[in-house]
Structure 1
Amino acid sequence: MTTAAARRADRRISPVFLGIAAVAAVSGWAVWSGVPAAPGPAVFAFVLSAWVVSLCLHEYAHARTALHGGDLSVAAKGYLTLNPLKYTHALLSVVLPVLFVIMGGFGLPGGAVYIERHRVRGRLRHSMISAAGPLANVVFALACTAPFWTGALAGVPVTFLFALAFLAMLQVTAAVLNLLPVPGLDGYGVVEPWLSSGLRRRLAPYAPYGLLAVFAVLWIPGVNAAFFDGVYAVMDALGVPREAAYCGRELFRFWEGEGYFCFAPVPG
């Protein structure tokens, strides 16, 4: 009976996550209803809390897929509770992504939960575990952009649309970056099981520096421009005008005082 109770506790949604989700819901309602005279702080709270929710879902997707792949240890580690404080690297998984969003409006991929890979059998299962996190970002982006690609814009407050557009852009940037086949990122985890053991050993030492290398390359103006052209191409395909994402970013960074330019109707 004690074991069964422990297993239920290992999978029970954490009050920490529920609290973050509640902040997202309340601040989202505030943005929708236009309760604050200046919407910037409400947009900031909504986007930031929803972004943390998406980070938790990203890591949960990794853990849940690993559980079904054979790594039962993820439950005991608390990964199935959606509690961000349970992550092996909370700094990489939550703190740094949040700081990057605040400083630059950029969806930084978080550090993955620790999976005991020796418990998982089959290359396809290993690939699926790595792919699950970015796919969670993709699903989140689709949910955020649903009013745009379904054409259901009537009656949705324009400020709320701007916030959704910016939140979706964060999801797209995180998914694109995470799917790059660079050691240390999930994209490499997808292809790694299919590489020769010798090549995996040679690339393993570079895994801790993969994300740093990606960001160093993104500092190159031409690469940065090409990257965001690709991100906005995805947003265009989802029916989201880049002006909407831009205005969402401006409202999110309300302390810069530029959000007053962003109250025109969303372009069709």
Structure 2
Amino acid sequence: MWALTIHEFAHGYVAYRLGDITPKLHGRLTLNPIAHIDPIGFIALLMVHFGWAKPVPVNPLFFRKIKNRRLGMLLVALAGPAANFISALLFLILLKILTPAPIPPSIKLPLEIFLTWGTFINIGFGIFNLLPIPPLDGYHILEYFLPVETLIKIKRYEPYGMLILIAIIILPPFTSMFVSVINGISLAMAKLVGINLF
């Protein structure tokens, strides 16, 4: 749940810092996971280990601290995946500190498992959300770089985004490639921190 919670909190926090009070009004500027739970997404997470949270409501018309609203939405979109990658890095740092610590195995082992899986989950969630498919963050990031004319044309396909995502997810080649990317980035980050994950 941490990956989902920090992801949505980051979206709301950045929007709030830009002047939008909408996330605060909806009670989303919190690290309490209950505030971010989508019932269906949570059930899916428990049953098939793939879920989602409630999107944080954001209104770029309230962005008072930045003139370019499209840039503001880009920053909001980037905040979620960035929070996941930062979380993964912090988990790896904690894992490095924990490994040589004189802690009883009954305590150390569960913590090591939690931090290791937390690393993979955060990286996986961050990468997945960077896919340029609506309603994911990657699509909103792409919007910033597209000409307005092109953006108007592709807007008509937004309602099919979830269907495209489901089709991609159930395809074995995507799953295999996705896991490989997660492992590769996880190992690269672990090497940066100076720790072996395997």
Q: Matched residues in 1 for 2:17 and 2:62: separation?
A: 11
Q: 1:180 to 1:267 in 2, by over 3 A?
A: closer
**Would you say how many aligned residue pairs link Structure 1 and Structure 2?**
185
Q: CA, structure 1 residues 208+197, in 2 after alignment: closer, same or farther (shift >3 Å)?
A: same
1:9 aligned partner = none
Query: Which residue of structure 2 lines up, in the alignment, with residue 154 of structure 1?
Result: 100
Task: For structure 2, list consecutive stretches of 5 or more residues without a partner in the other structure.
Answer: none
Q: Which has the larger radius of gyration?
A: 1
1:180 to 1:109, Cα distance in 2 relative to 1, 3 A:
farther
Q: 5 Å matches for 1:6-85?
A: 51=1, 53-84=2-33
Partner of 2:145: 194
Per-residue deviation at 1:267? 7.0
8 Å contact 2:42–2:52 — kept in the other structure? Answer: no
RMSD of the TM alignment (CA)? 2.7
After superposition, the Cα gap between the structure-2 partners of 1:130 and 1:225, relative to the gap in structure 1 and judged at 3 Å, is same
The answer as to 2:72 corresponding to 1:129 is no
Counterpart of 2:25, as a letter, is A
Do the aligned partners of 1:183 and 1:204 also contact (CA within 8 Å) in 2? no
Question: What residue in structure 2 maps to residue 103 of structure 1?
Answer: 47
1:39 corresponds to? none
* 2:163 pairs with 1:226: no
- TM-score normalised by length of structure 1: 0.60
After TM superposition, the structure 1 = structure 2 runs for residues 112-261 of structure 1, keeping only pairs within 5 Å, are 112-120=55-63, 121-122=67-68, 123-148=70-95, 150=96, 152-155=98-101, 157-239=108-190
1:107-165 Cα shifts (integer Å, max 9, x gaps): x45342111122334132220011111111112111222245x4751236233212221
Contact 2:41 2:53 in 1 (8 A): yes
8 Å contact from structure 1 (residues 109, 175) kept in 2: no
Query: SS state of the match for residue 80, structure 1?
Result: coil
Rounded to whole Å, the distance in 1 between the matches of 2:179 and 2:6 is 24
SS at match of 1:238: helix
* Structure 1 unaligned regions, length at least 5: 1-50, 241-265
CA distance in 1, matches of 2:166, 2:80: 20
Residue pair 1:184, 1:209 contacting (<8 A) in 2 also: no
Identity %: 25
